[in-house]
Structure 1
Amino acid sequence: MTARPIAETVASLMPRAKTELTELVAFQSVADPAVAPKSECEGAANWVADALRAEDFQDVALLDTPDGTQSVYGVLPGPEGAPTVLLYAHYDVQPMLEESAWISPPFELTERDGRWYGRGAADCKGGFIMHLVALRALKANGGVPVTVKVIVEGSEEQGTGGLERYAEEHPELLTADAIVIGDAGNFRLGLPTVTATLRGMTMVRVKVDTLQGNLHSGQFGGAAPDALAALIRVLDSLRAEDGSTVVEGLAADASWEGLQYPDEDFRQDARVLDGVDLIGGGTVADRIWARPAVTVVGIDCSPVAGAAPSVPASARAQISLRVPPGQDAAEATKLLFAHLEKHVPWNAKVSFEQVGQGQAFQADVDSPAYASMAEAMKEAYEGQEMQVSGMGGSIPLCNTLAALYPSTEILLIGLSEPEAQIHAVNESVSPQELERLALSEALFLGNYAASKQA
């Protein structure tokens, strides 16, 4: 496939891509009704469905998944005998976090310093726009050479497993020769990268109760058991002195043998404050791609604003535990519960709630689809060789697809390079990265079709 005319078409499509991403980012599509109205997700889902219909997709449908959300599906038929490629993205997003910390409104796509800022711009509404641009470029240059299926999920960020269960109940729906997951990112801005591994995830809530109600800290403090102090003791037990994750029975000493992540580069990408140490042992790549990692993502107790001098009777925390390939997320959850229960002080009452769970994933990077992608990325990135990295995050659907379709090749690319700051305030996407990756995907589809016909 000739790259130059497709590259010129992709470049010409970028103003339209910005307009469409602006429209899609405007939906506050957090798949949690406690954070945003359900109508916001419904609006985003319908926008995606309309975009597919406009591109002549057939069988476009809003799939009601078991977790109460909707995923959008459609099929674009290719030439007779052509392979089928499934393209994945998700339209749901993380909560905005602290709105006052955003330099520009989180749900208004804003151009600043050569980047486009907004919640979901990179993760993963931009991923859907990337797919659209790639397909439009191919249609303008002779047609799409494969049958394309598109699935755009509505609850990936919540980890509630709706699409995974739907796929298991309808295994014929997402069958394909290759799957491109548009929800990863280059290791570095401008460095073409495919992601070979994903850590799995378990999300749990732990609640500690010590009293029937809060008590006056002057009258009862010193003898009355403080639920928040008990919870802090429990949470502290999950870390070694150097900050390494400690869950009794869960191995935490694996090594990453591939692409490495220099400490100083990581410090810069993670925006670590001067003088603050990184946590854990081993290389950075070991810690973020090959080993489990626990994070306390939220605590419920009396807020500082309006706090009274009282002994807390109850406290609750939400904990994320990432587990690398080779470790079972369900077993890790059991070990986590056992560890927490063992470390609760003062015989305090403790209870647990499972919020979400997903298994780790490992791709076969020696498959023909990876060769097609390597060739495409080398063209799109002007001679740079494709790199292979891990990713510390989770995409639960990957493992489900790998189990359902063991012969299908699964590739992970996307817009979430370090500068994108996904899941944080001031998330952004590089339009240059969007252009190059859309071109990469278009060239890949051509290369892949040719490889299957050879």
Structure 2
Amino acid sequence: MTTTIRTESELRAAIERELPGVRADLERLVRIPGIAFDGFDHSQVERSAEAVAELLRGCSLDVRVVRSGGQPAVIGRRPAPPGAPTVMLYAHHDVQPVGDLSLWQSDPFEPVERDGRLYGRGAADDKAGVMAHVAALRAFGDALPVGVVLFVEGEEEYGSDSLERLLKEHREEIAADVIVIADSMNWDIGVPALTTSLRGVVNCFVEVRTLSQAVHSGMFGGAVPDALTTLCRLLATLHDDAGDVAVAGLVGAEGASVDYPEDRLRAEAGMLDGVSFIGTGRLTDRFWNKPAISVIGLDAPATGEAPNALVPAAKAKLSVRLAPGDEAAKAYAALTEHLRRNAPFGASVTVTLEHDGEPCVIDATGPMYDAARAAFRTAWDGVDPVDIGVGGSIPFIDTFRQMFPKAAILVTGVEDPYARAHGPNESLHLGEFARVCLAEALLLAKVAEVAETAAAD
């Protein structure tokens, strides 16, 4: 194997040269409201996929837009030079719904720069991931020292329901020695990170019924339970008085190697004065190594339209995050048992699974992980990367591990703690994005170096 591997100075100059065009293309992607959730215009997801495909064709990749019963994904390929490894670069082009528009300081689909940050839905999660891959490819041009497969998914935010089918159907063309998943975060502005564990997820609905129909709240209230009060009492059983999850059978652990400063977490989360944290133990353990249950939606009469009547049925959506070491099916069974066992007043309780995903722990040792850390260290001007857990979930990582057991899986970050992914005013720190792009270019060069060294030994 002999390839020409560009030097650090050459790659720095190339990334600096390409960044203006990369940013312009990122802004074009942000303007496309590609939301894969039910009830949204899915032609915009199609439009987003085509825009990504066009970008990858511009990098001299063979490109296909594919699907397997779900939203469109994009696969782009460039064969490896003789003897060189192949690297899969993953990102997703779909985005979260914007929620309450009144909470945004500017149009979520019109990118705006303020104080060195680019604001817009998807600017960070994960169209910045797409463009970090594109930036690295543009930096190398025709001198790419490894083979690449770009896999850009179109429904990650909606649960990746068709992803496993897509991976199986296209297994041969996406097979790789190294997999880079650019959908996580860095430890802080100015401090890179390699994600080595992620929580799993169980999203489900719990519906409570107490009556066959609504009845007068004055005539029957005080003796007959309404479903909304009953649901509130049931949801309150999910946590103990300290705020720790109180569902028997869910896995939890301690042992995080670093902790979060409380004031920093308060600022990042936007906690109001006087509001306390929930749970016990190190903050990092609470959102890396322990389960969490949040009520993220409620179906009940709106306050402005509510009659003076007892509500016969009420429904909540729960987001349950599973600690590494747990299993989604067992966790869902434990939650279902808890909800049915604790039903107040003998109410009818129905639990329905929406989607789930497994937690994962990555053994981040070996030459490819060393190469990633070296690339980060260089891109961040000598700052050592931090190995972190992430409280969020990327369930398909477990699928990648099962399908490509020999591949090194590198979960990298395009976000910083202030990006507010999934919330209003999502943004990308442009200075950090430049470092992310350089780090990926350096990583591809170092992967080629590691392979050359191994072949020579």
- Scaled to the shorter chain, the TM-score interval is over 0.9
Aligned counterparts, 1:1-400, within 5 A: 1-34=6-39, 36-58=40-62, 60-66=63-69, 68-139=70-141, 143-252=143-252, 254-400=253-399
Deviations 1:91-123 (A, max 9, x none): 111110111100001111111111000011111
CA distance in 1, matches of 2:166, 2:7: 39
C-alpha distance in 2 between matches for 1:367 and 1:204: 38
Larger mean CA deviation between 394-403 and 206-215 belongs to 206-215
Shift of 1:265: 2.0
Partner amino acid for 1:26?
R
Superposed, 1:402-417 pairs within 5 Å as 402-417=401-416
Q: Using the alignment, how far apart are the partners of 1:281 and 1:218 within structure 2?
A: 42
Q: Is the contact made by 2:207 and 2:350 (CA closer than 8 Å) also made in structure 1?
A: yes
Residues 117 and 427, structure 1, Cα contact 8 Å, conserved in 2: yes
CA distance in 1, matches of 2:104, 2:385: 33
Measure how far apart 1:416 and its partner are: 1.9
Distance 1:132 1:402 in 2: 24
Q: Return 312-321 or 258-267, whichever deviates more.
A: 258-267
**Comparing 217-226 with 278-287, which one deviates more in the overlay?**
217-226
Percent identical across equivalent pairs? Answer: 39
Distance (whole Å) between structure 1 residues aligned to residue 57 and residue 304 of structure 2: 49
Q: Which runs of 5+ in 2 are unaligned?
A: 1-5
Unaligned runs of 5+ in 1: none
- Normalized against structure 2, the TM-score is what? 0.95
C-alpha distance in 2, partners of 1:380/1:249?
A: 43
CA distance in 1, matches of 2:281, 2:294: 18
Following the alignment from structure 1 to structure 2, what is the Cα–Cα distance between the partners of residues 10 and 318? 44
Alpha-carbon distance, 1:305 to partner: 2.2
SS in structure 2 opposite 1:319? strand
The match for 2:3 is: none
Deviation of the 1:160 alpha carbon: 4.4
Q: Judge conservation of contact 1:75–1:149 (CA < 8 Å) in 2.
A: yes
Amino acid paired to 1:389: I
Question: Shift in Å at residue 164 of structure 1?
Answer: 2.1
The offset of 1:278, in angstroms, is: 0.5
Q: Which amino acid aligns with 1:183?
A: D
Match of 2:46, as an amino acid? E
**1:432 aligns to what SS in structure 2?**
helix
Question: What is the distance in 1 between the residues matched to 2:76 and 2:26?
Answer: 20
Q: Is the Cα–Cα contact under 8 Å of residues 244 and 280 in structure 1 kept in the other structure?
A: yes
- 1:5 Cα deviation after fit: 2.3
Aligned residues: 448
Counterparts of 2:427 and 2:433, CA distance in 1: 11
The structural deviation recorded for 1:12 is: 2.2
The structural deviation recorded for 1:69 is 1.5
Contact 2:299 2:315 in 1 (8 A): yes
Question: Are residues 301 and 160 of structure 1, via their aligned partners in 2, closer, same or farther at CA, if it must alter by over 3 Å?
Answer: farther
What letter is aligned with 1:434?
Answer: F
Query: Is the contact between residue 90 and residue 150 of structure 2 (CA under 8 Å) also seen in structure 1?
Result: yes
In the TM superposition, residue 170 of structure 1 has moved relative to its aligned partner by: 4.3
